[in-house]
Amino acid sequence: MIEYRPLRIALLGAGSVGAQVARLLTENKAELAARVGAELELIGIAVRDLKADRPAGFPSELLTTDAEALILGADIVIEVMGGIEPAKTYILQALNSGSDVITANKALLATHGTELFDTAEQVGAQLYFEAAVAAAIPIIRPLRESLAGDKVQRVMGIVNGSTNYILDRMDTAGITLEEAMNEATELGYLEADPTLDVEGYDAAQKAAILAYLAFHTEVPIEKVHREGITGVTPELMRAAQRDGNVIKLLAIAERIDADKAGVEGVSVRVYPTLIPRTHPLGSVHGAFNAVFVEAESAGQLMFYGAGAGGAQTASAILGDLVSAAKRHVAGGPGLADSVHANLPVLPIDRIYTRYQITLEATDQPGVLASIANTFASHEVSIEFVEQTPTLGRKTANLEIGTHEATDASLSAVVAALAASDAVEKITSVIRVEGI
Ligand code: NDP
Ligand code: HSE
């Protein structure tokens, strides 16, 4: 039964996501009202260009360029404009005027989340952001609510669809990074600035948001260690295949115990890694996303689905909208996420990882021993070595896998090898996860 007054919804942005939010709000109006107990009335849609083409059936009569006036008249504001400004100003205005806000803006949350969350808490409003990480996949609410009574140890995700598409095509079709990037561009997977995807910025923003929720800790984006996929070569792909591995760009947020790093902390990092094909993340193909969570009592959990797309992202936004609207109907202030733990975010050099290094060495007596000695002198234990001769040259290709060691020790080994007379060239260095 609908007894509550209609709730006024302002939509900021009518692009790929916003147009789908408007469609779902219109098409599912009666069903949403029944679920919430109040009608959800879309009162306006703020855009830059009133004359731009919109999809068929789009409610163009609701378009406005006056976002501020729209916000003032709303109960709930949905921000799907993207970018930092004016999105940040608009969200602050909305919160300060008592509206709940729903946003998909990972870039804004990763850089100014603290200010936005603090404002929401001060005014008793709620900021929802399920769509900001992995779009359609419910991962924010599970971390925020379902796992709130557990202790999350690690969140490891493929949270950038375009780079997963690129790496997957390099793996399955044997094409180069450039060819795969061209395909991803044609399919519209890459951001307008592709470096956001291929250099790992987008994944780093999402990793910071996941770590904030998983570890109740503020994670400044500058403290997320970030490496992109531009160094991934077809040779590296083939070597991974030979060993039953696959290369994925992983966003990792991990609790680090005091006995490992001297202080309890968190590590948040993004880099291409080797993982076994048999790992649940190893079978995530195309532009799909997946997030693998390990929690003390729940054990291992896997969340999988579409990490982008207008309708898919709008699904997550509508879920947040129903929550926000129900809160309005029920009354009571918004609940802030706790950052009580505020663990230090540890630099990458203190984190224990594993490396796989391929190099070309001179093929002479004592070379292998001297290389092994380089590892030993930095207290890095070798797990395996595979040697293959190079054709027509007095060198050998060595593939060396390590046990866990600090990233500082591993990079010192790589630097020492690069400087060694025994090593002609370091062909590749890649971290290994999920073993
Ligand atoms: P688009 O670029 O397709 O759309 C942006 C919309 O915002 C446009 O309608 C644009 O107006 C409007 N807009 C931009 N700047 C202003 C401004 N200054 N004043 C008023 N309106 C403005 O973006 P998307 O829909 O792809 O993405 C929106 C958000 O969702 C971003 O934060 C993005 O990161 C996030 N997201 C997107 C996903 C996706 O698959 N697309 C997935 C997950 C998250 P106009 O139409 O007039 O140009
Ligand atoms: N550029 C992002 C991706 C879009 O490739 O996953 C979704 O956030």
pLDDT band at 57 (very low <50, low <70, confident <90, very high): very high
Give the closest residue (by CA) to ligand 2 atom 1: 191
* Domain ranges (residues) in the chain: 7-135+311-330, 140-306, 351-432
Ligand 2 atom closest to Cα of 189?
5
Q: Starting from the CA of residue 18, give the closest ligand.
A: 1
Q: Starting from the CA of residue 110, give the closest ligand.
A: 1
Residue 334 pLDDT greater than 90, yes or no: no
Ligand 2 probe mutation, 195, 202, 288, most atoms within 8 A of CB: 202
Question: Which residues carry out catalysis?
Answer: 206
Residue 142 pLDDT greater than 90, yes or no: yes
Q: Is the pTM of this model over 0.75?
A: yes
Distance 29 CA to ligand 1 centre (A): 23
Q: Quick one: tokens of 90?
A: 């608009």
Ligand 2 atom closest to Cα of 308?
7
Question: Quick count: other Cβ atoms within 10 Å of Cβ 192?
Answer: 6
pLDDT band at 2 (very low <50, low <70, confident <90, very high): confident
177-199 mean pLDDT: 96
> What percentage of the chain reaches a pLDDT higher than 70?
100
Residues whose beta carbon lies within 6 Å of some atom of ligand 2: 135, 160-162, 189, 191, 197, 202, 307-308
Which 3 state secondary structure label does DSSP give 6? coil
- The amino acid sitting at 357 is I
Which residues neighbour 19 within 8 Å (Cβ) at sequence distance 6 or greater?
Answer: 54, 55, 58, 310
What pLDDT is stored for residue 255 in this prediction?
97
pLDDT band at 389 (very low <50, low <70, confident <90, very high): confident
14-24 mean pLDDT: 98
Q: How far is CA 185 from CA 139, 166, 179, in A?
A: 27, 10, 10
Which 3 state secondary structure label does DSSP give 245? strand
Distance 407 CA to ligand 1 centre (A): 38
Average pLDDT of the chain to the nearest whole number = 96
Residue 340 pLDDT greater than 90, yes or no: no
Which residues neighbour 342 within 8 Å (Cβ) at sequence distance 6 or greater?
Answer: 216, 217, 218
d(C-alpha 381, C-alpha 405), whole Å = 8
Residue 392 pLDDT greater than 80, yes or no: no
d(C-alpha 399, C-alpha 406), whole Å = 20
What pLDDT is stored for residue 332 in this prediction?
84
Question: Quick count: other Cβ atoms within 10 Å of Cβ 275?
Answer: 23
What pLDDT is stored for residue 135 in this prediction?
96
The 10s digit of each residue's pLDDT in 280-320 is 999 999 999 999 999 999 999 999 999 999 999 999 999 99
pLDDT band at 335 (very low <50, low <70, confident <90, very high): confident
Which 3 state secondary structure label does DSSP give 198? helix
In this structure, CATH architecture of domain 351-432 = 2-Layer Sandwich (3.30)
**Residue showing tokens 């925020």:** 144
pLDDT band at 207 (very low <50, low <70, confident <90, very high): very high
pLDDT band at 390 (very low <50, low <70, confident <90, very high): confident
Q: Are 80 and 11 in contact (CB under 8 A)?
A: yes
What pLDDT is stored for residue 403 in this prediction?
98
Residue 234 pLDDT greater than 80, yes or no: yes
Give the closest residue (by CA) to ligand 2 atom 8: 308
**Residue showing tokens 């919160």:** 95
Ligand 2 atom closest to Cα of 163?
5
Give the closest residue (by CA) to ligand 1 atom 17: 48
Q: Are 156 and 250 in contact (CB under 8 A)?
A: yes
The 10s digit of each residue's pLDDT in 242-287 is 999 999 999 999 999 999 888 999 999 999 999 999 999 999 999 9
d(C-alpha 145, C-alpha 354), whole Å = 33
Name the residue with higher pLDDT: 4 or 227: 227
Give φ, ψ of 86 to 5 degrees: -90, 10
Ligand 2 probe mutation, 197, 198, 248, 312, most atoms within 8 A of CB: 197
The 10s digit of each residue's pLDDT in 110-126 is 999 999 999 999 999 99
Distance 68 CA to ligand 1 centre (A): 17
Q: Starting from the CA of residue 48, give the closest ligand.
A: 1
346-351 mean pLDDT: 96
CATH (residue range 7-135+311-330):
3.40.50.720
Q: Are 18 and 11 in contact (CB under 8 A)?
A: yes
d(C-alpha 211, C-alpha 411), whole Å = 25
Helices (H), 296-432: 310-330, 367-377, 407-419
Q: Are 89 and 328 in contact (CB under 8 A)?
A: no
Identical topology for domains 7-135+311-330 and 351-432: no
Residue 393 pLDDT greater than 80, yes or no: no
Distance 14 CA to ligand 1 centre (A): 7
Question: Quick count: other Cβ atoms within 10 Å of Cβ 1?
Answer: 5
Closest CA to 318 of 81, 64, 130, 108: 130
Residues whose beta carbon lies within 6 Å of some atom of ligand 1: 13-18, 46-49, 52, 67, 80-82, 86, 104-106, 131, 135, 308-309, 313
Give the closest residue (by CA) to ligand 2 atom 2: 160
**What superfamily would CATH give domain 140-306?**
Dihydrodipicolinate Reductase; domain 2 (3.30.360.10)
Query: Angle 262-267-268 (CA atoms, 0-180°, nearest 5)?
Result: 165
Ligand 2 probe mutation, 106, 189, 205, 317, most atoms within 8 A of CB: 189
Q: Starting from the CA of residue 167, give the closest ligand.
A: 2
d(C-alpha 23, C-alpha 18), whole Å = 9
62-83 mean pLDDT: 98
d(C-alpha 426, C-alpha 40), whole Å = 60
Q: How far is CA 123 from CA 99, 255, 344, 352, 391, in A?
A: 9, 31, 28, 42, 70
